Structures are given as structure tokens and as C-alpha cells.
Amino acid sequence: MRQILFTARETASLSEVPDAFDPIKAGDVRGRTLVSLVSPGTELNWGYLGDTFPAATGYACVFEIDETGSAVRDLAPGSLVFASGPHAGRQQADRSQVTPIPAGLAPETAVFARLMGVSMSTLNTAAARAPARVLVTGLGPVGNLAAQVFTRCGYRVTALDPVDSRRASARAAGLTDVRASFADCKDLAGHVALHLECSGHEQAVLDGCKIVAKRGEVVLIGVPWRKRTEISSFELLHAVFHNYAVIRSGWEWEVPGQPRDFSFHSLSANYAAALSWLQEGSVKVDGLATTFSPADAQAVYAGLLAQSLPSPGALFDWR
């Protein structure tokens, strides 16, 4: 089986690995991968720039089922499903871990449900309710989709990124309030109920703590992979205390994976909703990723690191 592996620092390779899926379990489905989506932040910083090799990578794919276990009744060979699977030529997962793709939805579009799910966990857990004011900072694929998701749900969204191309992409997706910096957001001071920080930049966190309304939330969706400023903890704590700000992790898995008693949300329900919104066109992904062959893995990750690809994200087409 073909699979993309990180084999050394800054080295990605399409490798042959054993296909260890036999025998299929009663509750499993398996089949051939059609597309898989790169998560630029996590895959670059945790894997491509990591220190443990070899390492498998990837957590978003669409595959076509060619075999089902004896206990699976609602899916058949030929069905297309979304899963949090790796960059590999074949997939196998428990039925509960896959979500059927709506008829007519292209796999290249459906796979973005994974990145939509990142901010949908915050949608589930945030204190602010629509039509509250939301600020999204960092308009890479996750931030762009977060801004669209919260707009789709009735929030008043302001999206912010210093990069011209990312602002243009956000506007092309239908976002109307797109700005370049916090200097452009003085009119929002004291009115932001929820700040979704998707850039991983500590200056944006501090600025968010200063701009939110009293008791406003600043949710860290972007990972602070490295130090970028000389901001002191005093500056951040001062802003939190005197602005009554609530700062917390945007940990995606705070929401349970599957529906359960006493919980009104789940990751699987979020993925199903994301796929529905993608199908109806209320969330758009045009321009968020360029499609490549898995054989081009090294060039893809190097290009993402250098920010030299024609888009902020990348898809692998396994067909």
C-alpha cells in the first residue's frame, strides 16, 4: 500500500508499506482513497519539522468503500465516505468513524469537513450566541472556514489577516468584513463577544484580550508552535484581568466523538453538518487548496513551509 511518511526532518516520501487490514472486523468498512487533505499547521510543525521518524501523517480523507464487515448494514461497496484517515492509498475504519458523502458532493470539496470541524467544536462550546460579534484572526484554511461557519450560523463576523491573498480569498468566499490588522478594528473595541484566534501568533492573543467585551472569550484555535514576540506574561495577564477576558484552548476534542446522553453535540454530527453546508454551497472552499499527486509529497510540504504554493493548502489525489 502507498502511504506518505515523514522519513527525516523536512523530508516527505511516498512509500510502500504493508497493507495490514486483514481480516476486516465486523463493524468496519474499507476501501480505496480518493483524496486526502493536508492540515498545514499540524502536519508541518508536528511532522515535517518534527524529530520522530518515520512518521505517518494526515487526518482527513474521502474514500470509496469496496468491502464492509458483517455488522455494517447501511453502507455498501461504492459508497463514498469522509473519515479522519491518513495520507494513504487505502483506508479502514469503524462504521461510527465515517460519514457518508451527500450525493453530488465532490470528494475534493467534502474533505474540507475535517477543517471545518476544528472551529465547529468552539461553535458548540462558546458562551456567545448569534447574532453576537465574532472576530477571527488568521485566514489560512482553518480560519477562513471558521469565519464562514460562524457567518453561516448567524454571527456578525469580522475576519482579519495581514496577508493580501488571504483577505482576497476570504472575500471571494463571501465574507464582507475583512480587515488587515487590529489597527483597523478600533470600532470593535468592547463589542467582540468571541475571538477565534487561528494564527497561533501571541500578539493576536494579546490584542484579542484587549478588544473583547467584558467577559468575552478568546479561544486559541491556532497552535503557538514557536515564539514570535517578546511579549511578557504580565502584558497578557494585565489584559485578561482588567478586561475580564476569558482565554481558553480551542481543543477540538472537548466535544465527544459520538452522540451520547447529556451531550447535545459531537464531532460526527459536526462533520455531517459541515458536509451538508458544503453541498448547499453556504460554505465555499474554492482557492483554499491546490491538488497534487501523492508522488509530489516532498514538493508539497516544502512549498507549504515556504508559502510558495498557489494556495494556502494542498490536496492529494490518489486516483
pLDDT of residue 297: 98
Same domain for 149 and 99?
Answer: no
Can you tell me the mean pLDDT for 259-285? 95
Same domain for 139 and 199?
Answer: yes
168 is a domain residue: yes
pLDDT of residue 19: 82
Can you tell me the mean pLDDT for 157-170? 96
20 is a domain residue: yes
263 is a domain residue: no
Strand-pair category, 80-83 with 55-56:
unpaired
What is the Cα–Cα distance from 114 to 59, expressed in whole angstroms?
8
Examine the pLDDT at 262 and tell me if it is beyond 90: no
**What CATH number has the domain bearing residue 137?**
3.40.50.720
Can you tell me the mean pLDDT for 45-62? 95
Angle at 250 between CA 298 and CA 257, to 5 degrees: 85
Same domain for 91 and 46?
Answer: yes
169 is a domain residue: yes
Same domain for 61 and 144?
Answer: no
86 is a domain residue: yes
Which residue range is the domain that position 156 belongs to? 118-254
Examine the pLDDT at 11 and tell me if it is beyond 80: yes
Examine the pLDDT at 3 and tell me if it is beyond 80: yes
Long-range contact set of residues 96-105: C-beta below 8 Å, sequence gap at least 24:
96/27, 96/257, 96/258, 96/268, 97/257, 98/29, 99/268, 99/271, 99/272, 99/275, 100/75, 101/62, 101/275, 102/275, 102/276, 102/279, 104/279, 105/275, 105/278, 105/279
Can you tell me the mean pLDDT for 210-232? 95
Examine the pLDDT at 115 and tell me if it is beyond 90: yes
77-93 pLDDT, tens digit per residue, is 999 999 999 999 999 99
pLDDT of residue 20: 73
Can you tell me the mean pLDDT for 169-189? 97
What is the Cα–Cα distance from 110 to 121, expressed in whole angstroms?
18
242 is a domain residue: yes
Provide the b/e sequence for 49-70 (b: ≥16 CB within 10 Å). ebeeeeeebbbbbbbbbeebbe
Same domain for 155 and 106?
Answer: no
List beta partners, residue 158.
135
CA distances, 167 to each of 29, 108, 171 (Å): 40, 22, 6
212 is a domain residue: yes
pLDDT of residue 23: 86
Contact by Cβ (8 Å): 118, 142: yes
What is the Cα–Cα distance from 88 to 55, expressed in whole angstroms?
12
* pLDDT band for position 312 (cuts 50, 70, 90): very high
Cell digits for 7? 522519513
One-letter amino acid of 288: L
Same domain for 107 and 32?
Answer: yes
Can you tell me the mean pLDDT for 197-213? 97
Same domain for 99 and 123?
Answer: no
Last residue of a domain, one of 238, 254, 270: 254
How many structural domains compose the chain? 2
Examine the pLDDT at 183 and tell me if it is beyond 90: yes
Same domain for 82 and 176?
Answer: no
306 is a domain residue: yes
Same domain for 294 and 166?
Answer: no
What is the Cα–Cα distance from 169 to 21, expressed in whole angstroms?
40
* pLDDT band for position 171 (cuts 50, 70, 90): very high
Average pLDDT, the chain: 96
Same domain for 103 and 152?
Answer: no
pLDDT of residue 5: 98
What is the Cα–Cα distance from 297 to 195, expressed in whole angstroms?
34
For the entire predicted model, the pTM comes to 0.95
